[in-house]
Structure 1
Amino acid sequence: MSEESAAPKTAVIVEDDPDVRHLLAGVLESAGFSTVSVDNGLDGVQAVLDHQPLITTLDVTMPGIDGFEAARRIRAQSDTYIVMLTAHDEEADVVLGLSAGADEYLNKPFRPRELRARIEALLRRPRIGAAPVGPSLLGAMAEGAARVVDVVPAGHGTDAVGAAAGHPADGPWIRHRDLQLNPDTRIVIVEGREVELTRTEFDLLCALMETKRRVRSKTDLALALRGESYVTSYYVGDADKRAIEAHMTNLRRKLGDNPAQPRYIETVRGVGYRLTSEASA
């Protein structure tokens, strides 16, 4: 075991219900984390700054600032994975939580095994400013992207792509119309300008660009973002599907894509999402 893998992992638990705090601590400690627990949002933000945790769980309804505001303050200063927990599963709450910077959104009462599975899936995903903890979905996507016919069309190599946007030609570029994505450097360029996406938004866009016109269902995308294959034993609930919808709304807004007249991503009603055709709109 390397020195890095043997380093202790810290989790901050922000929860005002002592019973839930105890349950969360048990789940996280069984997964190898040392835990720090606080009972309000302001102390939670400070605990994240003090301890720099790998994982932070946030209750939505707390005294002082709520979980949404706590998530915004934490995300502005930390790349910790944020898992929001709430007794409400309204779509507006899911959208608010994900927009505030949460990586996962789980309803109460939650199943401890599902929480642990979600956390383990998060740790397999790349972390902003840090190397991935384990095998990542993006590694597989990068390998798949190299096999896509038009990743580097003849006469339009990575040098041309990178130079056109003022970026070095690092690794493979996947392109769709004037949208360009590099799985290695995690750079996204739209009409020659770089667009800043969250981890999840980037992974979602990469999944769609890698499979192009093949429709990806919300269930499929939810499992892909967890780094899991489509296996019927994995649970994907309504909250997971609403989370995909919320991420898609944010992604389209950042790309400047109008769902009513999509240029990059189109909705296949009752099924999911896919890239638009290459033909001009």
Structure 2
Amino acid sequence: MKDRCGRAASLMLVFSLLLEPVSLAAALSDDKGGYESQAAAKLQQSNELQSKIDNVSEEKRALDEAADAAIKEHEARKAELDATDARLKQNEEELAVLQKDYEAKQERLGRRVRDIYINGQVSYLDVLFGAHDFQDFLTRMDLLKRIIRQDYALVRGVQEEKDSIELRQASLAQDRLTQAEQEEKAHLARADMEEKVKRREALIERLRTDKALIDQQYEELMRASRQIGEMIRERGMGSAAPSGSGAMIWPVSGSVTSEFGWRVHPITGTQKFHSGVDIGADYGV
């Protein structure tokens, strides 16, 4: 009984030694599949992010065109406002000259009024009937007409200058107000479009950063899968195909890829018990 138990124990020990490499390869195969599955999920996420980047980039392209149009519109309105400001400055200089002329004519009219007040109103009849002869009469008549025309022209000129100044001031003020309103609207439209473009640029940059991280994770997973694949191939090529002893039939001719018993994971370093034997063969055997 002892001999039979001893032989059984020896058989189990020999069998476990034969099966230990099989369990390791099976674990590696499982891990390889897991890495590839995770990598496929990462690849899908990367493709989805790229699709979002393409969509937002197209939106940004349209916004860029709208922003360019808004910038040109604002620049045109700004140029018009600058031109109006230039005309205002020029007209203000002209108005300053007119104001001086107006003040000079006012002074002349004031002196005329003061002279009339101090010396009394000129009697046109006294001037005419004081003539010594007919020629003197005609001369006096001509002088009176000139004085009358001069006084009338002086008063009328002062009034016309005053009216011209007031009209020009009102026109310039209205032009300035209209141009300022148009420039402000164009400025706000430009600022709004530029802000939209900046938001799209920030979104694209964030999506690209996320995609770069996902792509890096994908590459790491695929690299781990390739490393495990190399380990599996190296182990399969270096193992001799075991043969049966006659007491038990070997199920397939192939190398042992994962043994029976405890094993240490080559990457994680953890121990795990494998309760079977894996034999390498073609897919579907």
Q: Same fold (TM over 0.5)?
A: no
| Bigger proportion of residues as strand | 1
TM-score if structure 1 supplies the norm length? 0.15
Structure 2-normalised TM-score? 0.15
Which protein has the larger Cα radius of gyration, Structure 1 or Structure 2?
A: 2
The structure with the greater share of residues assigned to helix is: 2
